[in-house]
Structure formats: C-alpha cells, structure tokens
Structure 1
Amino acid sequence: MSDCPAIAQLGNPILRTEAEPVHDLRDARVQALIDQLLATVQQANGVGLAATQISQPYRVLVIASHPSPRYPDAPQMAPIALINPRLVAHSEEMVTDWEGCLSVPGIRGRVPRYQAVTVEYTDREGKLQHQEFTGFIARIFQHEYDHLHGLVFLDRVEDTHQLMTEPEYQRQVLSHCPT
C-alpha cells in the first residue's frame, strides 16, 4: 500500500479553490508536502502536480517532466518544487497543444499556452529563484499554476470539438492514425 495521497478528481471543490501562500518553509509540514507531491507525481507517472490536487490548499507545485506513455516526447528533467510561484513575464507567442490532467482522467484537450514564461518562486531550501521555462516545461508550469488559482485545463479549451478520450488520443494523435 502506498503512502501517497489520493489525487483529487474533477468535481472535488478543492480543485476550484484559490491556494494560500506558504509562510514558513522551515515548517516540517511544508517539507512533507513537497515530498508527498514528488512521490505522488512519480507514482502517477505524471509530469506535474499542484498541492490542491492532493487536497492541500497551498501555493506549491512540482514539475517533473520525463518521457512516458502519456507524453512520449516530454523532455527529461530533475523534478523541482516551486513554492509561492509567480508568473512575472511571458512570450507573445502562444502554442495550442494537447493536455491531460491527473485530476481529469481519461480526457485530453487542446489548450493554448504561452510558449515561454518567466517565473519567480522559492525553492525548498528557501532561496528565491528566477527562471525561464519554454516549450513543454512552460506548458506544465502554466497548467499547474492554473491549479493554484482554482482552474483546470478544461477551462482553457477554446473549442469543445478539440476534446477526446485518452484511448482516442493514443490512437489518433500518438499513433498518427486518422479517424
């Protein structure tokens, strides 16, 4: 049996809650929350996870990009935790691409996102970081950042005709088979 918390599913009010700032990084509960997020995203084979997704209303998210069956072209990176992240700048260019969510299992949708974002956040050691993310990593950040504001990717889909089930996504998009 796993010690990872359950991932909140669409319809759970926590997913529509504005997350609260973290005030004391030295609090053992904050460090435990980061560990839970990292373990849960790994166990779920995800590429990112926000604290609200494990029913914790705090401004903490993790990015853990790696190739997987859900995202075979994802870049490999060491997982990072972002505490109290802020989006401080973004590119003018937007890219629309497919997204899914551990809190919305079985559904994919095409979502427009900024190609590049500049963010500030505190790392788990308490150091302020200023970093630019581009491409897929920028998409992960924006997706998880939305969770901290009570949004899910479905809120960003511009055309409901661009929604599909995971099996259809695997068949049509990943295997490049037309309908």
Structure 2
Amino acid sequence: MILMLEVKTIGEEVLKQKAKRIFKKDIVGKKELIKEMTELMRVSKGIGIAAPQVGVSERLVIIEIEENENYPDLKKLPLTVMINPKVTPIGKEKVEGYEGCLSVPEIRGVVARYKKILVQYLDENSELHKKEFEDLQARVVQHEVDHLAGIVFIERVQDKKTFITYENYKKYVLRK
C-alpha cells in the first residue's frame, strides 16, 4: 500500500486536533505508515515527524537525529518510533532554544522546553520503553509530542521578536 504522504502545514485542521491513541492490537497495521513517515522525514531533512503532520490524527512520533546543519550541537539518536508517548519532566529546569518545523516552513523561533524528560512509549513491535532524554534530544521529543496535542511550536514562542526566517537563522544564529 502506497500512502503518498505529504507534510501538512499550519492552517490545516489536523494540526489543531488532539490525536487519538493507538491500540496495541492495531500497531502491526502501522508498519507502512511508519515506513512512509520515515522516508518523508528524511527527504524533508527533518529530525522528527508526528502522524498529524501527514494528516493522520494518531499518537505516533518518529525521531532520527543524524548530522544536521540546522542543529550542529545535536547528539545523534538512531531511528526511534514512539507510539502513545507520555512525557514526564525530570526536574523543573527549562532551557530556551531555536526550533523549526516541517509544518511551519522557513520560520524559526525560541521556545523554552524542559531540559530533561522521561518518556514512556510503545515501539513499532509493541515493546514498552521508558527512556530519559536531555538537552536537544529532549527538545525534539517535546516538540513532536506537542503535535499530538494539536500544538505547533509557534504557539509556544513567548518572545515574538525571536521569530526569524530560515535564511537569517543560518546567517545570524548558526554562524555565531
């Protein structure tokens, strides 16, 4: 089955909805969706993608962190599929950092996120995981899980003056 997925951008109703839980018995039927979301994320040069971003209102997130010119300090993370992820902050410390999103093309903004989190989720084989993430990996997980609640990162930007185009982000932020 070919799904022919495309990234949904802000303004699309699916990005505003709370995503539905995936039942364990249904996970096996998500293999093709996971494969196509992974391919789309890689082709789009993203480091994470959530099912609502491809028009599917289900609690599914995929993250893969390789070398990335947009996030030079990001610690690598092998392909990770999170089904029904639950994020719990570890401590109260938050850090600010620039974020971008495939669903908000060409725009970056500063968002405060928890520095360290614990995530409980099922993988594509229905295995339960509890894993800690910190720093930029924690930021990526929180960003993607926000999509499952119908939240896009621009809603979390406190100081609207931090919005910047991708070109200016490369020019003024990455060159520092």
| Regions of 4+ moved over 4 Å | 25-28
Write the letter of the residue equivalent to 2:31. Answer: Q
- 8 Å contact 1:20–1:58 — kept in the other structure? yes
In structure 1, what is the Cα distance between the partners aligned to 2:145 and 2:101?
13
Equivalences, count:
175
Once residues 114 and 23 of structure 2 are traced to their aligned partners in structure 1, the CA distance between those partners, rounded to angstroms, is: 29
- What's the counterpart of residue 13 of structure 1? 13
User: What root-mean-square deviation, in Å, do the aligned CA atoms of Structure 1 and Structure 2 show?
Assistant: 1.6
Quote the offset at 1:79 in angstroms: 0.8
**Identity percentage over the alignment?**
33
1:153 aligned partner:
153
Q: Is the 8 A contact 2:28 2:124 kept in 1?
A: no
Q: In 2 relative to 1, CA 141–25 (structure 1 residues): closer, same or farther, beyond 3 Å?
A: farther
Q: Output the TM-score relative to the length of structure 2.
A: 0.94
- Structure 1 residues 79 and 57 mapped into 2: Cα distance closer, same or farther (>3 Å)? same
| Cα deviation 1:110-166 (Å, max 9, x = unaligned) | 000000000100111111111111111100000000000000000110010011111
Q: Distance in 2 between matches of 1:25 and 1:40?
A: 25
1:27-42 matches, within 5 Å, as 28-42=28-42
Q: How does 1:1-179 map to 2 (within 5 A)?
A: 4-26=4-26, 28-176=28-176
Point out where structure 1 has 5 or more consecutive residues left out of the alignment: none
TM-score by length of 1: 0.92
Letter in 2 for 1:165: T
1:91: how far off? 2.4
